[in-house]
Amino acid sequence: MITLILFGPPGSGKGTQAANLVEQYGLLHISTGDLFRYEMKNDTPLGLEAKSYIEKGELVPDSVTIGMLKNKMDANQNVKGYILDGFPRTTPQAEALDKLLASQSDEVTALVALEVADEILTERLLGRAATSGRADDADVNIIKNRIEVYKEQTSVVAEYYGRMEKAAYVNGVGSIEAIGNRLCEAIDAFLD
């Protein structure tokens, strides 16, 4: 089983590239945002639990997120593997993911991080705001804060997998095709 973590700051192109990687490798794309929306919309026990935290403005505990991820994996056991997008975001989440995969006699294959300069991220997010309608993509101050939060809290996950020699950094600037080719080269190195 292949388990890839597609990683990078907001606006780095994870969603766009995940779609290409799904096609290239035949993997299931799992976005934690999509998981949350599905579980809450369908009022599942985990969705209701997540909703209770979100309504109070609190962070959803990792155990709930891992539970949702496990449900998605259990419901899709006949796939070649997964591309995780938006998870893990912290070292404790990475450790919980490793534990979940180990319980299935599996492990993370690789984390592939897209590297993009802050100025380009900001331009991309402002451009996306015009079509997405997302308020957090339209405000430069919010964008800068999201990038800083990524650097301070989330980038450590790449370091965590780097210590296991399971991380690769890919230039996330250029055409979609060129970036996709670089990602595939990095992924293929882990699959050989």
Catalytic center residues: 14, 89, 128, 134, 146
Nearest-CA neighbor of 17 among 189, 157, 184?
Answer: 184
**Phi, psi of 175, rounded to the nearest 5 degrees:** -70, 155
Radius of gyration of the chain (CA): 16
Position 148, amino acid: E
Q: Is residue 155 classed exposed, middle or buried when 0-12, 13-18 and 19+ CB atoms within 10 A define those classes? A: middle
**Phi, psi of 109, rounded to the nearest 5 degrees:** -75, -50
User: How many whole angstroms separate alpha carbon 141 and alpha carbon 154?
Assistant: 19
